[in-house]
Chains A and B, each alone.
Chain A
Amino acid sequence: MSLSVLGGVVGILFFLPLLWVVTNSLRPGSETFAHLNPLSWQTFFELRPTLTNYSALLGSEIGRATLNSILVSALTVAIGLAVCATAAFGLAAFEFRGRGLVFGIVVLSFLVPFDAIAIPLSTMFRDWHLTNTFTGLVLPGIGNGMAIFLLRQFFLGVPAELVEAGRLDGLGWFGVFRWIYLPLSKPALIGAGLMLFLFQWQAYVWPLLIGTDAKHILGPVALSNLQGQNFADYGLVFAGAVVLTVIPLVVIAGFQRYFVQSVSSTGLK
């Protein structure tokens, strides 16, 4: 009994900021600070919710930035999965000299934290005229060493007999990859896809360095720009925060099983 009370208190403490954000996204920005002194139940509930902030979002910079975030993340997942899965197949299905070395490079690449090299990389991207392009925003997300590592671990479990049978039936190596490995690996592919998606969706340093014009700005950067203004419309800020949180939440909830699997397998194995 006392354990569930303790759990409840902790859970609610963590939830309060989000509840407050949702509540304030449903009331005019002018009322954001209305129910804070003294705190009352109205701080966290709105009896006359309005969707005006959300409709204002549609025509605003945050609305556009959110669409950009969706585009960039979708491209990253699609291209990134193709790149990472083929590489994982190359590492898992073949025996060749230097395999250990290649695998070492993959592991090394995810031990170098991306944010640490974001600034040197951004100077390179400037020289290549990739600032304020979608290519520049998407590229760093597609070669994800961790995703390659995860997929390789899964691919190693594909039975050799199945591959032999496929080869005897006349499948080329790409056919083996496409028709045997990929269909058997849906859970791992979803897990890796989620990892690529969250990497892009949550990115802040890179989009701040590379995509700052109105056409290429991403959600989190646009939201922090709005917040920095003196007369910010907090209703809009909160509605933007809700949208930028709900989208990944829906994705994670939809693939919950694979999310927990991909998280726990990075830590344990």
Chain B
Amino acid sequence: MKQRQGLIALAFLTPALVCLAVLRIVPAISAVVESFYTESLLRGGRVFTGLSNYTDLLGSKDFRQSVGVTLLFTVLVNPIQVVVSFLLAVLFTQKAAGSKLWRTLVILPIATPPAVSAVIWSVIYRPDGLGNGVLGRLGLPAQPFLTSPNQVLPSLIVLLSWIGVGYWMLFLIAGIQEVPVEVREAALLDGAGPWRRMISVILPLVRRPLAFVLVADTVSNLLVFAPVQILTKGGPNGNSNLLMYDVYNRAYAIGDIHVAQAEVVILVALTLAIVAGQFRLLRGDQ
């Protein structure tokens, strides 16, 4: 009986399993395998070269800069986005006039595809664009934004937060709303101030969604591509050359597909290491 059930289940599962295997798992494995090969003109075809693609990468100054920029970006963007979405989630779950409408305005950019957002912000960041218009109105001097080595990462962070914060906020709002109203009201009656209530009542109770947001946000930020490709092309001087863009550039502009595969493997390994570290940290303070 069980075996028959198994066959029927397999029939239902086959199309999806084929898709997942061919479209997700095989390319992941193929990236690892191909990263150990290189194209040889002399011998006509691909040749096993062991770790030489990896040692080539590690020996390249541009690659090391790209890793450095990616790590710096990760350390900046994730805490900013998680803290901002948490604060906004708390703000928009308070009883206040117009809260629903303001919340909707924050969520609205979710609908804009990331590449479209990047195009919009490429106009905002122009020297004569909206960004400097707003600064001018506030009496501040005009800024170069994307063409300045120091401002390019912060500019990308602002753009990515505009895209992403509303999305992450949704998870945290859902988490806060699962906190029983009695708990929140009890804290209010005990005379806890808003700051105190946020830190000692709400924060511990949304640990799980908060942990999810931190991990998912980190993964998505490590794979940021469209804004770099559309706005900065990694520049100026490689200061926004995030790994995902570097991989793309290596594969299609430089045409070195095997080294690009090695770089994909490094990017995924880096992502796993950072996520594993976050899990340890989160478990550590329980």
A: residues with CB less than 8 A from B are 1, 3-4, 6-8, 10-12, 14-18, 20-21, 32-33, 36-39, 43, 82-84, 86-87, 89-91, 93-99, 102, 105-106, 108-109, 112-117, 119-121, 123-124, 139-140, 142-143, 145, 148, 173, 177, 201-205, 208-209, 219-221, 223-224, 227-228, 234, 237-238, 240-241, 244-246, 248-249, 252, 260, 263-264, 267-268
A-B contacts, 14 of them at CB < 8 A, read A4-B97, A8-B98, A17-B121, A17-B162, A36-B133, A43-B130, A86-B16, A96-B10, A99-B9, A113-B223, A117-B24, A148-B16, A204-B114, A234-B123
- Output the least CB separation between B134 and chain A (Å): 6
Question: B161's closest neighbor in chain A, by CB?
Answer: A14
Q: In the bound complex, do residue A113 and residue B219 qualify as a contact, i.e. CB atoms below 8 Å apart?
A: yes
Q: In the bound complex, do residue A263 and residue B171 qualify as a contact, i.e. CB atoms below 8 Å apart?
A: yes
| Whole-angstrom CA separation of A224 from B117 in the bound complex | 10
Q: In the bound complex, do residue A10 and residue B244 qualify as a contact, i.e. CB atoms below 8 Å apart?
A: no
Contact check: which of A43, A97, A140, A240 meets B6 at CB < 8 Å?
A97
| Whole-angstrom CA separation of A47 from B141 in the bound complex | 30
List which B63-98 residues lie within 8 A (CB) of chain A: 88, 91-92, 94, 96-98
Interface residues of A, dominant DSSP: helix
Q: In the bound complex, do residue B91 and residue A117 qualify as a contact, i.e. CB atoms below 8 Å apart?
A: no
Q: In the bound complex, do residue A267 and residue B209 qualify as a contact, i.e. CB atoms below 8 Å apart?
A: yes
Q: In the bound complex, do residue B96 and residue A4 qualify as a contact, i.e. CB atoms below 8 Å apart?
A: yes
- Output the least CB separation between A206 and chain B (Å): 11
Q: In the bound complex, do residue B113 and residue A204 qualify as a contact, i.e. CB atoms below 8 Å apart?
A: yes
- Output the least CB separation between B133 and chain A (Å): 4
Q: In the bound complex, do residue A264 and residue B116 qualify as a contact, i.e. CB atoms below 8 Å apart?
A: no
Question: A241's closest neighbor in chain B, by CB?
Answer: B116
Contact check: which of A18, A33, A97, A205 meets B112 at CB < 8 Å?
A18
Q: In the bound complex, do residue B16 and residue A120 qualify as a contact, i.e. CB atoms below 8 Å apart?
A: no
- Give 12 new A-B contacts, CB below 8 A, not counting A96-B6, A143-B18, A267-B213: A17-B121, A32-B123, A86-B15, A95-B2, A96-B9, A116-B244, A117-B28, A139-B23, A143-B20, A173-B8, A224-B229, A246-B111
Q: In the bound complex, do residue B15 and residue A83 qualify as a contact, i.e. CB atoms below 8 Å apart?
A: yes
| Whole-angstrom CA separation of A219 from B97 in the bound complex | 38
The total number of A-B Cβ pairs within 8 Å is: 276
Q: In the bound complex, do residue A18 and residue B133 qualify as a contact, i.e. CB atoms below 8 Å apart?
A: no
B 1-20 to A, binary, CB cutoff 8 A, 1 in contact else 0: 01101101111110111111
Question: B213's closest neighbor in chain A, by CB?
Answer: A267
Q: Assuming the A-B contacts A89-B12, A112-B24, A234-B123, are A264 and B112 also in contact, with contact meaning beta carbons closer than 8 angstroms in the complex? A: no
The 4 closest A-B pairs by CB, nearest first: A143-B19, A11-B102, A90-B12, A87-B16
Q: In the bound complex, do residue B24 and residue A119 qualify as a contact, i.e. CB atoms below 8 Å apart?
A: no
- Output the least CB separation between A232 and chain B (Å): 9
| Whole-angstrom CA separation of A27 from B133 in the bound complex | 18
Contact check: which of A123, A203, A237, A268 meets B257 at CB < 8 Å?
A123
Q: In the bound complex, do residue B101 and residue A11 qualify as a contact, i.e. CB atoms below 8 Å apart?
A: yes
- Output the least CB separation between A121 and chain B (Å): 4
In the bound complex, residues from chain B placing their C-beta under 8 Å from that of A148 are 16
Q: In the bound complex, do residue B112 and residue A11 qualify as a contact, i.e. CB atoms below 8 Å apart?
A: no
Contact check: which of B26, B105, B264 meets A15 at CB < 8 Å?
B105
B197 at the interface (CB under 8 A from A): no
B: residues with CB less than 8 A from A are 2-3, 5-6, 8-13, 15-21, 23-28, 30-31, 34, 88, 91-92, 94, 96-99, 101-106, 108-116, 118-124, 126, 128-130, 132-134, 136-137, 162, 166-167, 170-171, 174-175, 178, 208-209, 212-213, 216, 219-220, 223, 225-226, 229-230, 244, 247-248, 251-252, 257, 260-261, 264, 267-268, 271
Q: In the bound complex, do residue A268 and residue B248 qualify as a contact, i.e. CB atoms below 8 Å apart?
A: no
Q: In the bound complex, do residue A260 and residue B170 qualify as a contact, i.e. CB atoms below 8 Å apart?
A: yes
Q: In the bound complex, do residue A264 and residue B170 qualify as a contact, i.e. CB atoms below 8 Å apart?
A: yes
Q: In the bound complex, do residue B16 and residue A83 qualify as a contact, i.e. CB atoms below 8 Å apart?
A: yes
Contact check: which of A33, A94, A119, A208 meets B9 at CB < 8 Å?
A94
Q: In the bound complex, do residue A205 and residue B136 qualify as a contact, i.e. CB atoms below 8 Å apart?
A: no
Contact check: which of B12, B25, B96, B114 meets A109 at CB < 8 Å?
B25
- Output the least CB separation between B20 and chain A (Å): 4
Which of A15, A84, A89, A234 gathers most chain B CB within 10 Å? A15
Q: In the bound complex, do residue B226 and residue A205 qualify as a contact, i.e. CB atoms below 8 Å apart?
A: yes
Q: In the bound complex, do residue B6 and residue A98 qualify as a contact, i.e. CB atoms below 8 Å apart?
A: yes
In the bound complex, residues from chain B placing their C-beta under 8 Å from that of A33 are 126, 128-129
Contact check: which of A15, A36, A224 meets B108 at CB < 8 Å?
A15
Q: In the bound complex, do residue A4 and residue B98 qualify as a contact, i.e. CB atoms below 8 Å apart?
A: yes
Question: A119's closest neighbor in chain B, by CB?
Answer: B251
Q: Assuming the A-B contacts A8-B98, A267-B212, are A116 and B223 also in contact, with contact meaning beta carbons closer than 8 angstroms in the complex? A: yes
Q: Assuming the A-B contacts A96-B5, A116-B264, A220-B115, are A90 and B25 also in contact, with contact meaning beta carbons closer than 8 angstroms in the complex? A: no
In the bound complex, residues from chain A placing their C-beta under 8 Å from that of B229 are 208, 224
Q: In the bound complex, do residue B98 and residue A7 qualify as a contact, i.e. CB atoms below 8 Å apart?
A: yes
Question: A245's closest neighbor in chain B, by CB?
Answer: B112
| Whole-angstrom CA separation of A124 from B29 in the bound complex | 12
Question: B224's closest neighbor in chain A, by CB?
Answer: A115
Question: B268's closest neighbor in chain A, by CB?
Answer: A116
